[in-house]
Amino acid sequence: MRLPEWVKASYPSSSVLELKKLLRKGGLHTVCEEARCPNMGRCFSRPSAAFMIMGAVCTRNCGFCSVESGRSAAGGAAGLGPLSDDEPARLAAAARAMALKYVVITSVTRDDIEDGGASHFANCVRALKSELPAVKVEVLTPDFGGSRKALESVLAAGPDVFNHNVETVPRLYPVVRPQADYERSLKILERASAGGGIPVKSGFMLGLGERPGEVMAVMEDLRASGCVMLTIGQYLRPSSKSLPVFEYIRPERFDELRIAALAMGFKSVASGPLVRSSMNAEEYYRHV
Ligand code: SF4
């Protein structure tokens, strides 16, 4: 399908190259680059970036994602390196070099690691907070296999926002997120909002074949699980290996959903074709 005007993004690129150099020097990944995010030019020019920790190879293979999957056909895991102990320090150094006031940390999923990498997440939060005491940190985590202990170790590190995306409606999980579980993701959000004392955030994409009634049901489930922040964006195909776009949703529909979400009690709602879960994260945090 032809790309409609409203999903075409064009931003200055000079800052992108500058920031990429800094990130490579620090041996760091961003989900911005891995996911080929259309907003990279704008975010990198601020600068803001969503750092991706625990390597660039994932133990899962979600249909919408272009991150390299270490999941072999037989379900085994390949190409998954050990976690690097100095990654938290490198991340904090890059955040200082970029003079960031708000940092989003996300990651691939590492089902091959006992706690799913939760303690490594916690170390990254602590390293940032000690290097930049005034910095706000949002963690956008995998589901850690539903482990309550893993979740608690991340929350104990003191992030300012807990984020975990449900990505789509439960009916589409077998194709869009085959190794994930919708109820498990809701449980993670529920526990984070119950125990963390911090705003809880989630998000999903449109354009994968979901029906309007299913979208409203997901928003109600997220509210019921304690989410106060929500992001809704258009799915864009990052690579020919990824799922095709089923539909380009018109901007008016995103506006309708924002109004419906605010009426449901969400305090901060980013809803638009180019919205991504980490985009303008600082601004939306300030809304809460
Ligand atoms: S778990 Fe995350 S990084 Fe891994 S394939 Fe799915 S979306 Fe991509």
User: Are 47 and 98 a contacting pair, CB within 8 Å?
Assistant: yes
Is 140 a pocket residue for ligand 1 (Cβ < 6 Å)? no
Name the closest-CA residue to atom 3, ligand 1.
108
Q: Which residues contact 222 (CB under 8 A, 6 or more apart)?
A: 166, 186, 189, 202, 230, 266
5-287 has which fold? TIM Barrel (3.20.20)
* Predicted pLDDT of residue 5: 84
CA distance 190 to 75: 30
Q: From the CB of 258, is ligand 1 less than 6 Å away?
A: no
Task: Give the Cα separation of 156 and 24 in Å (integer).
Answer: 30
Per-residue burial over 198-220, b if 16 or more Cβ lie within 10 Å, else e, is: bbbbbbbbbbbbbeeeebeebbe
Q: How far is 155 from 192, CA to CA, in rounded Å?
A: 8
- Does any ligand 1 atom lie closer than 6 A to the CB of residue 67? yes
Per-residue pLDDT of the chain (288 residues; tens, 9 = 90+): 778 888 876 555 666 777 788 888 888 878 777 777 777 777 777 777 789 999 989 999 999 998 988 865 555 556 788 899 999 999 999 999 888 899 999 999 999 999 999 999 999 999 999 999 999 999 999 999 999 999 999 999 999 999 999 999 999 999 999 999 999 999 999 999 997 789 999 999 999 999 999 999 999 999 999 999 999 999 999 888 999 999 999 999 999 999 999 999 999 999 999 999 988 888 989 888
For residue 67, give the DSSP letter.
S
pLDDT at 143: 97
The rounded Å distance from CA 80 to ligand 1 centre is: 14
Contacts of 167 (CB under 8 A, 6+ apart): 62, 64, 176, 177, 180, 203, 204, 205
Please give the number of the atom of ligand 1 that sits closest to the Cα of 31: 3
Instruction: Quote the tokens at residue 74.
Output: 């037989």
Give the distance (Å) from ligand 1 centre to CA of residue 134: 30
Domain definitions of the chain by residue range:
5-287
Length of the chain: 288
Q: What pLDDT score was predicted for residue 30? A: 81
Dist. CA 199 → ligand 1 center (Å): 23
- Residue whose CA lies nearest to ligand 1 atom number 6: 62
Q: Is 40 in the pocket of ligand 1 (CB under 6 A)?
A: no
Q: How many CB atoms lie within 10 A of CB 280?
A: 18
Residue 76's pLDDT is what? 54
- Indicate if ligand 1 lies below 6 Å from the C-beta of 191: no
| 133 alpha carbon – ligand 1 mean position (Å) | 30
CA 10 to ligand 1 center in whole angstroms: 26
Please identify, by atom number, the ligand 1 atom nearest to the C-alpha of residue 61.
Answer: 5
Residue 192, CA distances (Å) to 25, 130, 136 in order: 34, 23, 17
d(CA 56, CA 179): 18
Per-residue model confidence (pLDDT) at position 73: 54
- Number of neighbouring beta carbons within 10 Å of residue 173: 19
pLDDT the model gives residue 14? 66
Residue nearest (by alpha carbon) to ligand 1 atom 1: 109
